[in-house]
Amino acid sequence: MASILILHGPNLNLLGRREPGVYGSASLMDVNRMLEQEAQLLGVAVAVFQSNHEGALIDQIHAALESHQGILINPGAYTHTSVALRDAIAGVNIPAVEVHLSNIHRREEFRHHSYIAPVAIGQISGFGPESYRLGLRALVTYLNQIKDTAADT
């Protein structure tokens, strides 16, 4: 069974309370519960981690080499600032999907650039918590295609 590491970046622990007009009313616990249910339907395991600290997120990415086949990440504000997160994802070479609750391209100009997108297999934004579900489905589909291709060779 494939295992997916789900990473939530800074301030996502405040979901449901922080700017609900932008991020919605679902809590992080609600999002995690939804992802765990979706993972069961998809036949994968998930491990969830949230931190407001860049280094803690990087440590989780490095540790993923030992136990996870994919990474679903909402880097929060680190999307627009962290070359270190980008380098960690590139360094482990584990397929990653970047997700955002809000459409970062419809927000302030500084949010339009992602350091993560160039090293991710895809990016989904603007659908609230559904962005996570769509991201998980896309990542699992990608991993299954890789597995099927490897089995054919």
Binding site per annotation, positions for substrate: 74, 80, 87, 101-102, 111
Q: From CA 24, how far away is CA 44, in angstroms rounded?
A: 27
Is 23 a known active-site residue? yes
Contacts of 75 (CB under 8 A, 6+ apart): 7, 9, 57, 82, 85, 98, 116
Q: Which one is catalytic: 68, 100, 115, 132? A: 100
Binding site per annotation, positions: 74, 80, 87, 101-102, 111
Is 100 a known active-site residue? yes
Q: Which one is catalytic: 23, 78, 115, 132? A: 23
CA 123 to chain centre: 9
Active site residue ranges: 23, 100
